[in-house]
Copies of this chain bind each other. A is one copy, B any other.
Amino acid sequence: MTVPELDSEQVAVYQRPDALSDTNTHYCPGCTHGVAHRLIAEVVDEMGLRERMIGVASVGCSVFAYNYFDFDFVQSPHGRAPAMATGIKRVLPDRIVLTYQGDGDLASIGMAEVVHAAARGENITCIFINNTNYGMTGGQMAPTTLPGQKTTSSPNGRDVEVNGYPIRTAELLSKLDGASYVVRRSLHDPKNIRLAKKAIRTAFEVQKRGLGFSMVELLSICPTNWGMTPRQAIQWLEEKMIPFYALGDYKVNPSVADIKI
């Protein structure tokens, strides 16, 4: 059916952000990697940072992130994005440097690099996509896979006694003095998406003011590897992930408090 045009004066209240390039993504339908991308782009636009941004893509489904943003980007070896970001930030301290990492990338192979970037109070921002599995390689167990969750490498469900316990990354990093802003948000509904955006904005403000390390963990869906429709996946995130990965602020440096956004 056709919906008639509005006849009164109208204005675009939402448009695709400039900081996204005009490229089609390779993400699966419904994958909230796309939402995270959009939020970053919106914040970059709002803060006018496009010309100062340098992104570090990691290895995972977001490996091609460098294609999707209209600002400078590099692509890191698996897990090493915080180290690359450190290298960039140290020579260009006035740029806003961002890593974009999955949970396999950041919390598994890249654990040492992110812990040390946080401990150093490295003035960078990590956007951390927690989708409880290795999306890119076909859905293996990640450090974030929930107890009992079936993946292609925990075919009988994650048995914590044998496969270990999931890691709550935001909680972990919050223990480090160099970390200024460490929070967890979710991408499963409009309200939480708005909160996620606010957190990304705060993280960039933290970096802009030189307050040190910031990380925004984002609970995200992977319908393909979860074997669900996007709808089901959203529901699963809400029902299974959030109880385990409590949303909230895990570390907020006092001087972050007066960032008003």
Contacts and interface: CB of A to CB of B under 8 A. Distances in A.
Contacts of A164: 116, 119-122, 178
Interface string A101-119: 0000000111110011001
Given A171-B175, A172-B176, A175-B171, A165 B111 contact: no
A168 to B, nearest CB: 7
A164 B122 CA distance: 7
A53 interface: no
Oligomeric state, in number of copies? 2
23 contacts: A108-B116, A110-B112, A111-B111, A111-B115, A112-B112, A112-B115, A115-B115, A115-B167, A115-B172, A116-B143, A116-B164, A119-B165, A119-B167, A120-B164, A121-B160, A121-B164, A160-B177, A165-B178, A166-B177, A167-B176, A171-B175, A172-B172, A175-B175
List the 10 closest pairs (A to B, CB-CB), nearest first.
Answer: A120-B164, A165-B177, A111-B112, A112-B112, A165-B178, A172-B175, A119-B167, A111-B115, A119-B164, A171-B175
Given A121-B160, A121-B161, A160-B177, 12 more contacts: A108-B116, A110-B112, A116-B164, A119-B165, A120-B163, A120-B164, A121-B165, A122-B164, A165-B177, A168-B175, A171-B175, A172-B176
Interface of A: 108-112, 115-116, 119-122, 143, 160-161, 163-168, 171-172, 175-178
